[in-house]
Structures are given as structure tokens and as C-alpha cells.
Amino acid sequence: MKQGTLMLDLAGTWLTPEDRQLLRQPEVGGMILFARNTETPAQVRELVRSIRTVRPEMLIAIDQEGGRVQRLRRDVLRLPALGRIADCASADAGVLAEGAAWLMATEMLACGIDISFAPVLDLDHGRSQVIGDRSLGGDPQQVIQLAEAYIRGLHLAGMAATGKHFPGHGWAEADSHTDLPVDSRSEASIRESDLKPFAALATMLDGIMPAHVVYPAVDGLPAGFSHRWLQDILRAELGFRGVIFSDDLTMAGAHVVGGMAERVDAALASGCDMLLVCNDRAAAEQALVHAQRSGMQPSARGQELLARSAPGIEYKAQPRWRQSVALLQSAGLL
């Protein structure tokens, strides 16, 4: 069965009858877990098992970056924000980034989760509070170097890497969860700075999530709804061949294109492969009904991310686990 195009969310730590009904819809191809869905690794494994009993081919995601964006916190490592790794400013920073990524990925894969939406490739310009220490720094070359190591750690563990938020959320000050951010710089300025990590790493990344940010010098629409950004630049120019995940279509930054049906249509028209509709069950149901009525086609690329095998739950016995934990502890990151 091909991957459905919608990625939705769940009410709590177990499946409700309403959740099960959503899971049965072929237009739904993914579920993203939030803090309200996670208590312990054992509970998450059971939740994932329940999901896969209904839909074995479901793609299950989480945001487990570290720092303030870490949905599962109990009985797992409290990982550092990527900015803390960047602050280590030494020859070992890349090794630390790789180790942190490997540790996160092994813990999430052992829970049955397929992907964590990471790494953040936004530059830290000291302007955006929503990005801040989630960034690997303000220098594009440093971000490229450390993100490459982080992606390598994910891949070594068997997890796909998803870069966000294309083409860069670090300059715009507004939070796209609550407002529509605007980055008024010239296209040349964006290309010389924020776009560089995405350009350098496009062929290493398995997924990319565009920003709900408007870059008027390039397009009047937010990047996630922009054919110019996603098709002309990301696909044709940068050569990206992976999955494009929309950012959450319920966010304020997405409202500019209209109601939920218009958002779904605009995201698909721009080139998004999977559409996130989260934290609003009524909106999710609207998106699902529209997908059913419009004959939304399944995602040809989403299934590719399920072709990875998760390690067993005894990962802590692996020498690499002990070595990576010790390395981060010695750097004061754990």
C-alpha cells in the first residue's frame, strides 16, 4: 500500500476510537507524536505497536531535537540543544554532533519511531527566539560541517535525516506558530547565508521541511506554498530528491493561503509530498474530508523512509552507546 499524504496526530498516550478511525483512512500516511503522547519508552513502544496493528505501513515521526524541543523526556537521555554542541567550538564538535544524533536515533528507533524531524539547519542571527539555540550557529560553514556530522550519526543508526526550515527561519523574528514571519532581505543575501546549508546538504538529506516564512524578494507566498522555492530552487537547482514535509498547516503562518482545503491544495501544488495537520482535530478532519473528495494521490516518496530497520531495544549494551554517552558527558553536554 502506498503512503498516504496526510500526517496527523493523536489525542493522548493510547488510541481512542476516533484515533483508530483516522488511522484506517488511506489518505493518512503518517502520525507525529507530541509530548502529550509520550510518557516512557515502554509506553511509546506500546502506542506505536497499537498504531501498526491498525496500519502497519504508517510513518511515525517525532520532534526529538534535544534541549527545549524534546517530546519524550522520561527514561531517555536529556540531549543538549544543537546550539550547545556548536558552542563547544573545537575539533571535537563534529564528533559530538554525530554522537548526539546517533544516541537520539537509537532511542527513538527502539521505540518504533521512524524519524525525528532533525537537524535544524537554520542560521542563528540572534533575531529569532523560536530558533535560538536550536541552531548549530550563525556561520554557514560551521552549520554545514556540524550538520553533516549530525546527519552521518542519524544514518549510522538507521534513521532518515530531515533538514528544517528551508530556506532558513533564522532571520525572521516572528514565530510562525502564532504569526506570519517575513524575511525582507534580497535573494542574493539569503543565498549567501541561510540557503547555504540546505544547498550543501541537499543530497545527504532524506527529507526537508520548508518554513512558513515569506521571502518577498523571491515569492509572495510562504516557502511551503511556493513553487519557486520548492520546485525551481530545491528540486531543480539544488537537486533534492527526498521527501518534502509541509510544516504544520494549522500554524498561523499557513493561514495566508486560506482555509484548510486551500492550504492542502496550495501545499500539494507547491510540491510538498506529506502534509502535517496537527494539534487541531477539527482541522485534521477537514483536511481528510477534502483529501477524500478531491481524490488526493498517495505519496510516492513517503514509503521510502520506511525502508530502514530499527535496532533492537538492547542498544544500551552496544559499545558505541557507552562511548557516545561518555563523550557527551566529558563535554558537559549530558
Q: Is the pTM of this model over 0.85?
A: yes
- CA-CA distance, 116 to 123, in Å (whole number)? 20
Q: How confident is the model at residue 247, as a pLDDT?
A: 94
The number of C-alpha atoms within 13 Å of 74 and in the hemisphere containing its C-beta is 10
- The residue ranges of every structural domain in the chain are 6-330
Q: Is 165 exposed, middle or buried (0-12, 13-18, 19+ CB in 10 A)?
A: buried
Q: Which of 125, 177, 227, 255 is catalytic?
A: 177
Residue range 173-217, pLDDT digits in tens: 877 787 788 999 999 999 999 999 999 999 999 999 999 999 999
Average pLDDT for 274-295: 93
- CA-CA distance, 326 to 193, in Å (whole number)? 34
Lowest mean pLDDT among 101-110, 175-184, 277-286: 175-184
Q: First-to-last CA distance in the chain?
A: 41
- CA-CA distance, 82 to 101, in Å (whole number)? 10
For 6-330, CATH number out of 3.40.50.1010, 3.20.20.300, 3.30.10.20, 3.40.50.2000 equals 3.20.20.300
Average pLDDT for 133-160: 96
Cell of 180: 506570519
Q: How confident is the model at residue 311, as a pLDDT?
A: 64
Lowest mean pLDDT among 45-59, 147-161, 290-304: 290-304
pLDDT class for 295, splitting at 50, 70, 90?
Answer: confident
As annotated, the binding site includes 63, 71, 134, 164-165
Average pLDDT for 40-46: 96
For the beta carbon of residue 205, count every other beta carbon within 10 angstroms.
25
Q: Taking 80 as the threshold, does the pLDDT of residue 307 lie above it? A: no
Cell of 109: 528507533
Lowest mean pLDDT among 234-243, 308-317, 320-329: 308-317
Write the DSSP string, 77-91: --PPPHHHHHTT-ST
Cell of 149: 556530522
Average pLDDT for 137-142: 96
pLDDT class for 2, splitting at 50, 70, 90?
Answer: low
- Examine residue 125 and say whether the peptide bond preceding it is cis (omega within 30 degrees of 0): no
As annotated, the binding site for substrate includes 63, 71, 134, 164-165
Tell me if residue 247 is catalytic: yes
Q: Which helix (H) or strand (E) holds 207?
A: strand 207-210
Q: Taking 70 as the threshold, does the pLDDT of residue 243 lie above it? A: yes
Q: Is 136 exposed, middle or buried (0-12, 13-18, 19+ CB in 10 A)?
A: buried
Q: Which residues pair with 299 in a beta bridge?
A: 3
Q: Taking 80 as the threshold, does the pLDDT of residue 41 lie above it? A: yes
Q: How confident is the model at residue 297, as a pLDDT?
A: 77
- CA-CA distance, 123 to 329, in Å (whole number)? 26
Q: Which of 194, 247, 248, 273 is catalytic?
A: 247
Tell me if residue 177 is catalytic: yes
Share of the chain above pLDDT 70, in %: 95
